[in-house]
Amino acid sequence: MRKLRYWIRRHFGFSQREVNAFLVLIGLMVLLTAAPLLFKWLSRPDTDSFGSQSDRQVLDSLVADWRQSSHPPGRSGSLGYRLSLCGPSTPTT
């Protein structure tokens, strides 16, 4: 570590205080660069908690309820709007 400080001081012409601050900033940059990878590694979900049979049954029932409620009987799914092409040089009425 002493050789690194000496090399930085001689190469860049820093004072001892500047060398210490430079090393702290380099350390922070390394930590911030590695933070997303460390966060992914630390927050990896437990594979046993996902994909169980009871979870699948609950999700399937929720999807079935969602499909039934999104298309009630008697409606075609259309909102009643008529879409038409619009030309930029033609006036609208």
User: pLDDT tens, position by position, for the chain (93 residues)?
Assistant: 899 999 999 999 999 999 999 999 999 999 999 999 988 888 876 665 556 788 888 888 998 888 877 655 555 555 666 767 777 777 766
| Percent helix / strand / coil, the chain, rounded to 5 | 60, 0, 40
Q: What residues does each domain of the chain span?
A: 2-42
Whose tokens are 């799914």? That residue is: 77
Tokens of 50: 């996902």
What pTM does this model have?
Answer: 0.45
Q: Which residue shows structure tokens 């000496």? A: 6
